């Protein structure tokens, strides 16, 4: 059974208090705003620590800000010969160089999954909360670095788009959209056909056609052929980073576990002592992860493995090669 339709009952999550105010279950605007101070220890600039996953064997270096054309002028002694415009030089018979300046900022778009497939957690956070906290930390740090930041927040039926701006007001709108989407997640939410990832990636391409930093935080449920093509295109034209949010149970589904899942109308009991059911669950999760890791190999995309079973900031610092805080 695909977990996009599953409604996980509170009783199947041992040790988790059934409180709507618990920030591990649903996040809030005040909680996300409180992460600003923690974000200062992170960096999304091109120069990364040697052990950062953004600087790893499968990760192309972040390209940083682009260049703006300023002027075309005659060559002067001491100018960098690599700046010579050979076409103009050949046409005029005199050496000319192109003067470029670095863009003052680079847009960043943070795409965050808040569908029902993310409303699951067996140890610490719901996956949706880990994704939201990661998005908030990244947004605060990127804005603090002087870059524009915006985002796309999508649930099962809604998509909120905040175009990148160098503005705290825009950042607050992004975090408000995250909190609003989180508040809609509930075990009793009506069953709907969830938005496909490919639909969200089309919106991402429209807002970030090229030369932007794009961070996608999701469990990547519902991957299809179109999503594969769109990921390829985004990786060619932007600095793309994928944050794969999983729960510890997905990596080691225990035998002897009984849980009831429902699509809102029908219920079924899953018994992982049943070898067929246990294998089906493992194959579903591993197949999804294999697809994302395939993108990493094929397109050189940095992949951040994020666990809902750990505190968010320490694991991001570890992935970025930073010492424990």
Q: How far, in Å, CA of 149 to CA of 88, rounded?
A: 37
> How far apart (Å, rounded) are the C-alpha atoms in residues 325 and 317?
8
In contact, 158 and 181? CB cutoff 8 Å: yes
In a domain, 4, yes or no: no
Domain assignment present for 251:
yes
Distance, CA of 145 to CA of 150 (rounded, Å): 14
Give Cβ neighbours of residue 86 (< 8 Å, ≥ 6 apart). Answer: none
Q: What is 89-124 written as a DSSP string? A: HHHHSS-EEEEEEE-S---EEEEEE-SGGG---SSS
Over residues 70-103, the pLDDT tens digits come to 678 888 888 888 888 999 899 999 999 887 655 5
CATH number at residue 195: 3.40.50.410
* pLDDT the model gives residue 76: 87
The reply to whether 58 falls in a domain is: yes
The answer to whether residue 57 is domain-embedded is yes
The β-bridge partners of 202 are none
Pairing of strands 108-113, 149-154: parallel
Both 47 and 169 in a single domain? yes
Q: Which of the listed residues 102, 123, 158 is the one where a domain comes to its end?
A: 102
Is residue 304 helix, strand or coil? strand
- Structure confidence at residue 47 (pLDDT): 64
Closest residue by Cα to residue 214 from 233, 238, 183: 238
Q: Is residue 313 part of a domain?
A: yes
Which pLDDT does position 320 carry in this prediction? 86
Residues 145 and 203 in one domain: yes
159 and 237 within one domain? yes
Boundaries of domain holding 96: 67-102
Predicted confidence at residue 102, as pLDDT, reads 55
Q: Which of 153, 119, 141, 146 is nearest to 247 (CA)?
A: 119
The number of folded domains in the chain is 2
User: By three-state DSSP, how is residue 252 classified?
Assistant: coil
* Domain co-membership, 226 together with 138: yes
Query: 77 and 157 share a domain?
Result: no
325 within domain boundaries: no
Residue 324 lies in a domain: no
Does 150 lie in the same domain as 36? yes
Q: Which residues, other chains included, contact 36 with Cβ-Cβ below 8 Å and sequence gap of 6+? A: 140
Phi, psi of 236 (to 5 degrees): -70, -35
| Domain C-terminal end among 77, 102, 127 | 102
Instruction: Give yes or no: residues 73 and 56 share one domain.
Output: no
With CA atoms as reference, report the closest residue to 66 among 104, 38, 98, 92. Answer: 104
Same domain, 91 and 111: no
Judgement on whether residues 166 and 95 belong to the same structural domain of the protein: no
Please check whether residue 2 lies inside any domain of the structure.
Answer: no
* Residue 78 and residue 205 in one domain: no
Q: Using an 8 Å Cβ cutoff, are 316 and 293 in contact?
A: no
- The H or E element that residue 279 is part of is helix 275-299
The answer to whether residues 58 and 76 belong to one domain is no
Low pLDDT (below 70) residues in the chain? 1-20, 45-51, 53, 55-70, 100-105, 251-287, 325
In the listed set 84, 102, 120, which residue is the last one of a domain according to the structure?
102
- For residue 186, what are its two tokens? 């509930």
Residues 152 and 254 reside in one and the same domain = yes
> 239-246 and 213-218 as β-strands: parallel, antiparallel, unpaired?
parallel
């Amino acid at each position: 059974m695909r977990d996009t339709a599953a409604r996980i009952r509170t009783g199947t999550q041992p040790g988790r208090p059934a409180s709507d105010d618990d920030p591990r279950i649903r996040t809030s605007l005040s909680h996300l705003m409180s992460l600003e101070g923690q974000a200062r220890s992170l960096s999304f600039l091109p120069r990364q620590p040697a052990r950062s996953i953004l600087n790893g064997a499968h990760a192309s270096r972040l390209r940083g800000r682009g260049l703006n054309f300023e002027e075309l002028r005659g060559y002067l002694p001491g100018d960098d010969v690599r700046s010579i415009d050979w076409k103009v030089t050949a046409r005029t018979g005199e050496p000319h160089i192109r003067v470029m300046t670095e863009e003052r900022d680079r847009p960043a778009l943070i795409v965050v999954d808040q569908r029902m497939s993310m409303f699951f957690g067996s140890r610490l956070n719901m996956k949706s909360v880990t994704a939201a906290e990661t998005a908030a930390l990244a947004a605060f740090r990127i804005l603090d670095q002087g870059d524009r930041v915006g985002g796309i927040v999508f649930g099962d039926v809604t998509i909120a788009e905040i175009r990148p701006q160098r503005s705290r007001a825009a950042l607050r709108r992004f975090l408000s959209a995250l909190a609003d989407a989180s508040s809609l997640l509930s075990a009793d939410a009506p069953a709907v056909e969830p938005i496909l990832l490919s639909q969200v990636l089309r919106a991402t391409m429209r807002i970030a056609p090229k030369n932007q930093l794009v961070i996608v935080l999701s469990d990547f449920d519902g991957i299809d052929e179109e999503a594969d093509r769109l990921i390829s295109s985004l990786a060619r034209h932007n600095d793309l980073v994928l944050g794969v949010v999983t729960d510890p149970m997905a990596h080691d589904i225990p035998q002897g576990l009984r849980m009831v899942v429902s699509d809102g109308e029908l219920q079924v009991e899953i018994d992982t002592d049943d070898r067929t059911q246990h294998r089906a669950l493992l194959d579903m999760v591993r197949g999804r992860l294999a697809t994302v890791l395939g993108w990493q190999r094929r397109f050189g995309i940095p992949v951040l493995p994020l666990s809902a079973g750990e505190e968010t900031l320490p694991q991001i610092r570890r992935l970025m090669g930073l010492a424990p805080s």
